[in-house]
Every structure is written in structure tokens, then in C-alpha cells.
Amino acid sequence: MGYARVSTGGQKLGRQLDTLTAAGCRRIFADTKSGKNIDRPELKACHAFLAAGDTLVVPSLDRYGRSLADLITMVGELRRREIGFTSLHESLDTTTLGGRLVFHVFAALAEFIRELISSPVPARA
């Protein structure tokens, strides 16, 4: 199963959908809402649809979670439900021990970069 998301109406889902289709996703859920928005109905539908033995595939970590804590919570819940998680851009597969370790490292980096982009530049003295 796949999940894609764009943040604004000006962004297009096409490339993400093509990537997920090429990865073999049988069904793809897609939201057009900011990752900061808790109300992502397609993500909720995707989580409800997934069953033990499935794998959720996303184009990249920043398309799935809003923050490091959010990513860790959601991927942890998937693992408890015996659902795998794969992020194509980062080449992560949490069905392996190494993949789980790398997931935590990349998730921290993704949050750091997002905060850098959204942080105001300090004034120079």
C-alpha cells in the first residue's frame, strides 16, 4: 500500500503516485494537506486499511510524518500491528534490524532540515 501527500494546491501528486506505482503499490492513498495538519483523512483511511503482513510505502519520510516524534509514533504503531514500512527516497525498510536503525537516524535528519528551512534567520548585530 502507498501513501502520498502534497502540502499545497500548487503542488502536484503525479510524481509521487508514479513512484509508488512503479514500486508495486496495489493501492495508494493521497492527501493534499500540510504535514502540520493533524486532519489527514487519506492517511487515516490508509492506516485503517492496512493489515498484518502489509507494507506501507511512502515516497519520502517528510511526506508521511510531521515531526520526528510523529514518525516514530506512527512507524512504531505499524510495527506493533506487524505492518512493514518503506521509504523509497531514503531506501528504508523497517522490516530489518538495520532498517529500523537507519529509520531513526534519517527521521532525525529530516526533522532537522525542516526546522532549518522554517526557522527565522537571526538578525546580525
| pLDDT tens digits along 25-39 | 999 999 987 656 678
Query: What's the pLDDT at 71?
Result: 85
Looking at the annotation, which residues are catalytic?
Answer: 7
Nearest to 60 by CA among 96, 16, 26, 99: 16
| pLDDT tens digits along 57-108 | 999 988 998 777 788 889 989 999 999 999 999 888 998 889 888 877 877 8
Q: In the chain, where does DSSP find H-type helix? A: 14-22, 41-49, 61-64, 68-80, 97-118
Cα–Cα distance between 118 and 116 in angstroms, integer?
6
Q: Are 110 and 62 in contact (CB under 8 A)?
A: yes
